[in-house]
Chains A and B, each alone.
Chain A
Amino acid sequence: MQAEDVKVDLEELKKFKEKNIRERLEFIDFWVEYIKTHSDKEWSKQQNIVIDSQIKD
C-alpha cells in the first residue's frame, strides 16, 4: 500500500484520542489509589521500573 492509498477517518481518530485521554486520566486515579493503599516501598518499586529503565545509574 502506498501512502496515498491510506484512508484516514479523522472523526474516528478524534474519538480514539478522546478515549485515550480519558483512559490516561483514569490511570492517574488508579495509580494514586495504589499509592494510598500500598506501602511506599511497594509503589516505589513499581515506579522505579519506569524511571530506572530510562535514567541509567
Chain B
Amino acid sequence: MEYDERKKEIRLDKELNNLDNFVLEFTTLLEDYVIVSGYVSILLGRSRATEDIDLLIPKMSYNEFEKLWMQFEKNGFECMNTSKIQGAFKMLNEHAIRFFKKGRPIPNIEFKIIKTDLDRYSFEKKIKVTIKNKSFLISPLELQIAYKLFLATEGTDKDLKVDKDIEDARHLYKLFKEKINKDEFLVFINKLNVKKKLKFLE
C-alpha cells in the first residue's frame, strides 16, 4: 500500500472482495462522489464487513437524477425507500436514500446529497484509491479519523467503551500515522471536540 499525500492517491495491489465489487458496480455509474465512514477503513484493510456504504454526491437537478435513476435500474439496483423517481428525488433533498441489488438488501449504498461543510470538505479533498485499473474516491484521512472518534460511544477511563468506530479510527491512524497532515488532523479533533478520545489511537 502506497500513499502519495501530495497527489492524494493511495495505490493498492489487493484482491478485490465481494463488497469492493458491489461498490465499484455502483460508483462506475456516478460522475463524481465521495465515500465516507466505515467502508473507507474496510477498503484500506480493516478486517470487518459492513451492511452499508455511505456515499456523498453533489446536489443535482431532477433531470440529472432521473437519468441516474434509469442507469441504476438498468444495472439492477433498486431503491429501498420508494420505487417512484419523484418521491426518491424529494426524499434525497431531505435525507439519505438507499440502493441495493434487486432482491438483496445487504449490502446497500446510503446515497446522500452534500449538505454540510464537513461533507463539502470530504468531497473537495477526496483521495483516490487505485487498485489495478479500478478506482475509489474516499474522504481525506485526517477528517475520517477524527469523525470516527466523534461517532464513537462516549467512555471514561473508569468505564472504558470501545466500539467499531474507535477501532476504525485506530486502524486508519496506525496505518497512516506518518503520512497524515497532523495540523489538519488536530483542527478536526478540536472542531469535533474529540480530544479526550485521542488516547484510543495510541
Contacts and interface: CB of A to CB of B under 8 A. Distances in A.
A44 B16 CA distance: 8
Interface residues of B, number: 28
Contacts of A56: 18
Contacts of A32: 45, 171, 174-175
B91 interface: no
B48 interface: yes
Contacts of A24: 162, 167
B17 A25 contact: no
Interface stretch (B7-15, B66-74, B80-88, B137-145): B7-15
Contacts, number: 74
Interface size class of A (residues with CB under 8 A): 20 to 34
Contacts of A25: 162, 166-167, 170, 200
Contacts of B18: 51-52, 55-57
Interface in A7-57: 18, 21, 24-25, 28-29, 31-32, 35-36, 39-41, 43-48, 50-52, 54-57
